[in-house]
Structure 1
Amino acid sequence: MHLLQQKSRFLLGAVLLFSACQPKNSAQQSAAMQDSLRHLAARYYEESMALNPLQATFNGENQYNDQLPIDISEAFRAKADSFYAAWQQTLKSIDTAAISGNDRITYDMLKREFDINREGLTFHDHLMPVQQFTCLPITLAQLGSGSSAQPFKTDKDYRNFIHRMERFAIWTDTAIANMRRGIATGYVLPKSLVVKVIPQMKDLATNKADNIFFAPLKKMPDSLDANALGLLAKDYKTAVETYILPSYAKLQQFLQTEYLPKARSTSGIGGIPDGQAYYNYLIRSWTTTSPSPEAVYATGEQEVARIRGEMETVKNSTGFKGDLAAFFNQVRNDKHLRIFATPAAILDSFKAIEHKIMPGVKKMYGHLPKTKFEIRQTEAYRAASASAEYQQGSADGTRPGVFYVPILDAKTFPYSGMECLFLHEAIPGHHFQISLQQENDSLPKFRRFSWIGAYGEGYALYCESLGKELGLYSDPYMYFGRLTDEIHRAIRLVVDAGLHAKGWTREQAIKYMMENEPLSEAEAIAEIERYMAIPGQALSYKTGELKIQELRRKYTKELGDRFNLASFHDELLKDGCVPLSILEEKMARWSSQVK
């Protein structure tokens, strides 16, 4: 859907039709209301994919694979605002008294999505469209690698991406114009982030055979004859050289010469004109709760203190005689904790963890995903600024879920955090949660492919706590690695609120992080700069984990012998990502049914 008038006509027609067909019988009315809601949810998903074609590609909806909207333009933002405003109005036709259970979850999630997305458009993040962690220039490179969600199997697939490359040149010009407006109005990135983006853009602008955008040329469709292959390869290479390389070069040049001198010295989002209001919005958006920045900060400090106490116990169990700071230093630098010589050995070690835990996982979960799973090394062009991450597979099973591991130097890769990392990013963390959600075709599509960080990241962090039950953490250094990851998420509450609400500097946040966990300075810098780039996102993990742990403790106590962990986990996951308030409500219904 591209024309807003067409959408508005449909919505008006749907409302009028629904009003004209109201049944008189209350049971019939309730059923009709549920059918209407499901119809609206299905229609919303279809139209939202047309509005957001890149998301459609990641969702496996391939009808928009040639499209790349200029989503940072004023015209697009006005269109998006009208889109969500129309859906807000349409949702008012639903009588909430006539729906319950899963349909009420759908209603509440639709309402939240319309409200939060529309509110987000009142802020000015489009004037800062490029940063080192996640932005269109990085996403496009991932898609253009040929190993991500963008298909490269047919002539049409390649020509779809050629069109996206053409559109990227327009996006680039818009981004530069927006950043010039940002310079004039105070919406600019911190200098420390700009200096990280510049080499990324330079690398992607390089006209060399190993540029990631040339990768699809190495595996052309074997269904084409020689002439067709030659023409396609020529057109594709020409598009990269005409649209991609000059665009990245233009971004690099602008950032280096014009933007960097005007970048701000402040580290937090509070340094932009409406930064405090924006951060309050981002807290609500990412956590699906409404704590103040001060409350976030206080919770973080409490959790840091608690976990440090556990760390002291583990440190003492190893026979180490110094204080915790000295133990951190040992963990950072002890060569005995750096056991790998090659990237392949690291990937093999992660595979061994998978094999070890699967028997226990099958007892903890009644439903396992069908989506295949792979472990890969993060691509070189983005490894320096990347964290370990999970990239979802496709719902139809044609693309596996992938656990990406950035390895800059295998000999310095610490083994102590590997077990909890795998539980979080892979199994039973993100791979289980996202795959089961996508595979559940009883959910409306917008829910099958939605992401709510407080739930998704909170669940993945909760999965780290399952290690001992799965036979992991027998090595005290591995368990210390688990505590390190947990305190890392608690530290995020402190430093994120510190940076964005309390005026902390980048250096202050790095110092706090290094004082409370055993990571290198380079790792601390990458983490802190990530929080600077995407304010509020790092709050999701601990907020959600604390809620899920609270629910497990509550129902273990309330249900006693009737509590079944596999049943708890299946209920936790079966409805996909939901806001934390909705999670509480649905788990309460589950408990009542068990009783």
Structure 2
Amino acid sequence: MKKSLFALCIIMLLGACKKESNKNNGLAVDLPPINDVFESYYQQSLKLNPINATFTGDNKYNDKLPNNITKDYRETALNVFQTYKDSLALYEDEFLNEEEKLSKAVLLWELNQNIENLKFKTYLMPVNQFSSMHLMIGQLGSGSSAQPFKTPADYNNWLSRLEKFSTWVDSAVVNMKQGIKEGYIIPKTLIVKTIPQFTDLTKTPIDENLFYSPVKIIPDHFSEEEKKRLTESYTHTISEKVIPSMKKMDDFLKNEYLNAGRKTSGINDIPEGKELYNALIRLYTTTNLTADEIHKLGLSEVARIRSEMEKVKKEVGYKGDLISFFDYVRNKKELMPFTEPRQVIDNFNAIHEKMKPNLEKLFDLTPKTAFEVRRTEAFREVSASAEYNQGSLDGTRPGIFYVPIPDVTTYNIYSDEDLFLHEAIPGHHYQISLQQENTKLPDFRKTLWYSAYGEGWALYTEALGKELGLYEDPYQYFGMLSAEMHRAIRLVVDTGLHAKGWTREQAIQYSLDNEAESEASITAEIERYMAIPGQALSYKIGQLKILELRAKAEKALGEQFSIKEYHNKVLESGCIPLQLLENKIDTWIASKK
């Protein structure tokens, strides 16, 4: 087998004192321990994605923001991925222990996906209303997220990163103009939702601009001279660099991009759209399922969950049909009891307290990382979903469950118990924190994220509510069914939009016909699927696999089956592709028998 010269250089540069003998093509080869390769890759990945480093609590790249939509960046990234893929090929499984073999398989899967995704011209569509750089930078620049603002160096780092963001925005405009020429452009309905986000970032006077927020929280212990210097530097950068770039993008979106926006909704309508969607299915589900298979699975799950919903409707004595029951639940005043946003947060904390006595019945592994519930920041609250942001690797920053409360008087609590299980405990907070805290994992695996596993686990935990003392109220149980229905619908509408030619309006109507969410909420969700094709498939595909593996273990082990031990096995390796998880559970079952 021909080995990359770069791969061999990586091995030489690692220069580990301890070496492993390996047999390659019949020759004895001295190699550094494979964990050195894992660590080297991890450090390279942080350089490529310094915002990821910031979120892990690694601050050495807090001033960096590579222009990841340029040709040079993509070529550099491809070179890194191919080099490490070639490096791993030098290590044969027979010389590795079980954990090393699993890490090698995970990294190979990761590298192959990264290489495949770089083939597509997604860099010509760098901006949307749900997931793009301006939203991430806005969150970091708010002063209440992962970017620290505790020392003068922290403030200098952010100023440097903010200046680089202005350069990124300028590149985005250039790319989007090229995208118009080549047919790589997002739907017009998404452009309409993106424009106000950039308009808001041009806000003046300066002290009302989002990016001025760090100045308002300068620590008291800074000297007066330092405070003055930072205030002047931030004012200059925001007024002379950031706002002009935001205005340039804002004008471009309004005057050029909007007119060119696609009237169609699915990614299959751009060049190579079908191939891109197939690649995104593999990325987000970690399976080889086809769009047709997923669509049919979704239809089947929607029918099953509807029958469960009918039972709840009968239990509460509602006489109308299911669709009218959705409206009844959406508008039931007793389910909208709050007058202050703080009450929403307090309710989630009360749910946590209620379930605490039962958590130890299902889980041996629990995280050390602290946890908080917070309201979503105002600048993104209107279009945001509830979400979890992981704590730092060193445990100094807690895991945070963000809850959008744009209008507390219409906030409906019927799904709050289910939502807490998914986004917080024992969903994302348990899974992500345990992964980050696991000292047996190489560093690259502590921060690795696969939606099929991570979101699949979170959706699986929603079904644990009754075992945790929740869902005593039929409306809360209906909330769980509604959330599961929401994810089942995603299988139908995501594939409908991106593989079957569905319109935005068709997808919205299908959702309205099958779930209790408001039309405004459903519209935002459908537009989310339009912005990030394939991601919405991961939840249900992952959940069904974890349920399938639990059922297999229960049947095979009988009285030997332990739910705590099963959860340990699922959680202990962190995020891994679903096929590797299945292999792991099969090995565990065989060892128990």
Q: TM-score, normalised by structure 1?
A: 0.95
State how far apart, in whole Å, the 2-side matches of 1:20 and 1:430 are.
38
State the one-letter code of the partner of 2:386. Answer: A
State the one-letter code of the partner of 2:129. Answer: Q
User: Partner of 1:304: helix, strand, or coil?
Assistant: helix
2:140 alignment partner, one of 120, 143, 154? 143
**Aligned residue pairs: how many?**
585
Is 2:194 aligned against 1:197? yes
Q: Which residue of 2 aligns with 1:516?
A: 514
Q: Which residue of 1 aligns with 2:342?
A: 344
Is 2:323 aligned against 1:334? no
Following TM superposition, by how much is the alpha carbon of 1:219 offset from its aligned partner in structure 2, in angstroms?
1.8
State the one-letter code of the partner of 2:170. Answer: D
Following TM superposition, by how much is the alpha carbon of 1:90 offset from its aligned partner in structure 2, in angstroms?
1.1
Q: Bigger CA drift: 138-147 or 5-14?
A: 5-14
2:47 alignment partner, one of 45, 50, 57? 50
State how far apart, in whole Å, the 1-side matches of 2:141 and 2:234 are.
11
Is 2:66 aligned against 1:69? yes
Structure 2: 5+ residue stretches without partners: none
Mapping of residues 328-477 of structure 1, within 5 Å:
328-477=326-475
Following TM superposition, by how much is the alpha carbon of 1:590 offset from its aligned partner in structure 2, in angstroms?
2.2
Is 2:562 aligned against 1:561? no
Q: Which residue of 2 aligns with 1:257?
A: 255
Q: Bigger CA drift: 316-325 or 274-283?
A: 316-325
* Contact 1:311–1:483 (8 Å) recurs in 2: yes
* Contact 2:7–2:84 (8 Å) recurs in 1: no
State the one-letter code of the partner of 2:517. Answer: L
Q: Which residue of 1 aligns with 2:295?
A: 297
Following TM superposition, by how much is the alpha carbon of 1:99 offset from its aligned partner in structure 2, in angstroms?
2.1
Task: Identify if the C-alpha distance between structure 1 residues 14 and 201 changes in structure 2 by more than 3 Å, giving closer, same or farther.
Answer: same
Q: TM-score, normalised by structure 2?
A: 0.95
State the one-letter code of the partner of 2:309. Answer: M
Aligned-residue RMSD, C-alpha: 2.0
Mapping of residues 525-544 of structure 1, within 5 Å:
525-544=523-542
Following TM superposition, by how much is the alpha carbon of 1:211 offset from its aligned partner in structure 2, in angstroms?
2.9
1:550 alignment partner, one of 541, 548, 551? 548
User: Partner of 1:390: helix, strand, or coil?
Assistant: strand
Following TM superposition, by how much is the alpha carbon of 1:239 offset from its aligned partner in structure 2, in angstroms?
1.7
User: Partner of 1:22: helix, strand, or coil?
Assistant: strand
User: Partner of 1:376: helix, strand, or coil?
Assistant: strand
Is 2:177 aligned against 1:180? yes
Task: Identify if the C-alpha distance between structure 1 residues 19 and 222 changes in structure 2 by more than 3 Å, giving closer, same or farther.
Answer: closer
Structure 1: 5+ residue stretches without partners: none
State how far apart, in whole Å, the 2-side matches of 1:8 and 1:211 are.
47
1:154 alignment partner, one of 151, 154, 171? 151
Q: Which residue of 1 aligns with 2:10?
A: 11
User: Partner of 1:462: helix, strand, or coil?
Assistant: helix
Q: Bigger CA drift: 215-224 or 166-175?
A: 215-224
* Contact 2:390–2:433 (8 Å) recurs in 1: yes
Q: Bigger CA drift: 315-324 or 506-515?
A: 315-324
State the one-letter code of the partner of 2:219. Answer: P
Is 2:239 aligned against 1:236? no
Task: Identify if the C-alpha distance between structure 1 residues 562 and 71 changes in structure 2 by more than 3 Å, giving closer, same or farther.
Answer: same
Following TM superposition, by how much is the alpha carbon of 1:62 offset from its aligned partner in structure 2, in angstroms?
1.0
User: Partner of 2:21: helix, strand, or coil?
Assistant: coil
* Contact 1:15–1:90 (8 Å) recurs in 2: no
What percentage of residue pairs aligned between the two structures are identical?
49
Following TM superposition, by how much is the alpha carbon of 1:81 offset from its aligned partner in structure 2, in angstroms?
1.0
Q: Which residue of 1 aligns with 2:588?
A: 590
Is 2:121 aligned against 1:108? no
State the one-letter code of the partner of 1:492. Answer: R
Is 2:312 aligned against 1:307? no
Describe the superposition over 1:170-200 as per-residue Cα deviations: whole angstroms up to 9, x where unpaired. Answer: 1111100000000000000100000000001
State how far apart, in whole Å, the 1-side matches of 2:19 and 2:560 are.
48
Task: Identify if the C-alpha distance between structure 1 residues 511 and 23 changes in structure 2 by more than 3 Å, giving closer, same or farther.
Answer: closer
State how far apart, in whole Å, the 2-side matches of 1:105 and 1:222 are.
49
Task: Identify if the C-alpha distance between structure 1 residues 588 and 9 changes in structure 2 by more than 3 Å, giving closer, same or farther.
Answer: closer
Q: Which residue of 2 aligns with 1:268?
A: 266
Describe the superposition over 1:393-423 as per-residue Cα deviations: whole angstroms up to 9, x where unpaired. Answer: 1011111110000111111111101000000
State how far apart, in whole Å, the 2-side matches of 1:299 and 1:470 are.
29
User: Partner of 2:373: helix, strand, or coil?
Assistant: strand
Following TM superposition, by how much is the alpha carbon of 1:19 offset from its aligned partner in structure 2, in angstroms?
13
User: Partner of 2:271: helix, strand, or coil?
Assistant: coil
* Contact 1:168–1:243 (8 Å) recurs in 2: no
Q: Which residue of 1 aligns with 2:56?
A: 59
* Contact 2:371–2:399 (8 Å) recurs in 1: yes
User: Partner of 2:297: helix, strand, or coil?
Assistant: helix
State the one-letter code of the partner of 1:497. Answer: T
Q: Which residue of 1 aligns with 2:116?
A: 119
Following TM superposition, by how much is the alpha carbon of 1:101 offset from its aligned partner in structure 2, in angstroms?
1.8
